[in-house]
C-alpha cells in the first residue's frame, strides 16, 4: 500500500503543480482518479468472495467500475465544457470517496 499511496499522492501533486504553472499558457491540467475497477490487476480481489464482498460493501454503487465508466469524464475534460476547470482531480469511484 505505501507505494500505491505514494504514487496516487504524486499524481495529485503534479496535477496541481502543472495546473498552476501552465494555466497562464492556456493549458488546463486535470486528473481522473478511478476507484476500484474490474481489471486484470483486481482479478484476484474479485475472485476472493470475502474480500470482494468487503470492497463492494464500502462502494455506494455496490459494483466494481468498468473502463467504460471513465469515458464520460474523459470526454468532459477533453471538451470545451471544461475550459475553466483546472487543477481538478475528478473521482470516478462509485461514491467511494463520498462515504
Cell numbers for 30: 486535470
3-state secondary structure of 87: coil
Q: Is 4 a catalytic residue?
A: yes
Among 4, 49, 80, 83, the active-site one is: 4
Helix (H) or strand (E) holding 91: strand 89-92
CA distances from 49 to 14, 20, 61, 64, 74 (A): 36, 44, 18, 14, 32
Which residues are marked as active site? Answer: 4
Amino acid at each position: 500500500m505505501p507505494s500505491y499511496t505514494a504514487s496516487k499522492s504524486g499524481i495529485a501533486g503534479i496535477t496541481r503543480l502543472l495546473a498552476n504553472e501552465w494555466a497562464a499558457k492556456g493549458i488546463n491540467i486535470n486528473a481522473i482518479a478511478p476507484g476500484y475497477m474490474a481489471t486484470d490487476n483486481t482479478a484476484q480481489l474479485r475472485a476472493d468472495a470475502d474480500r470482494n464482498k468487503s470492497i463492494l460493501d464500502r462502494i455506494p454503487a455496490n459494483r466494481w467500475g468498468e473502463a467504460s465508466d471513465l469515458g464520460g469524464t474523459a470526454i468532459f475534460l477533453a471538451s470545451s465544457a471544461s475550459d475553466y476547470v483546472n487543477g481538478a482531480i475528478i473521482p470516478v469511484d462509485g461514491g467511494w470517496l463520498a462515504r
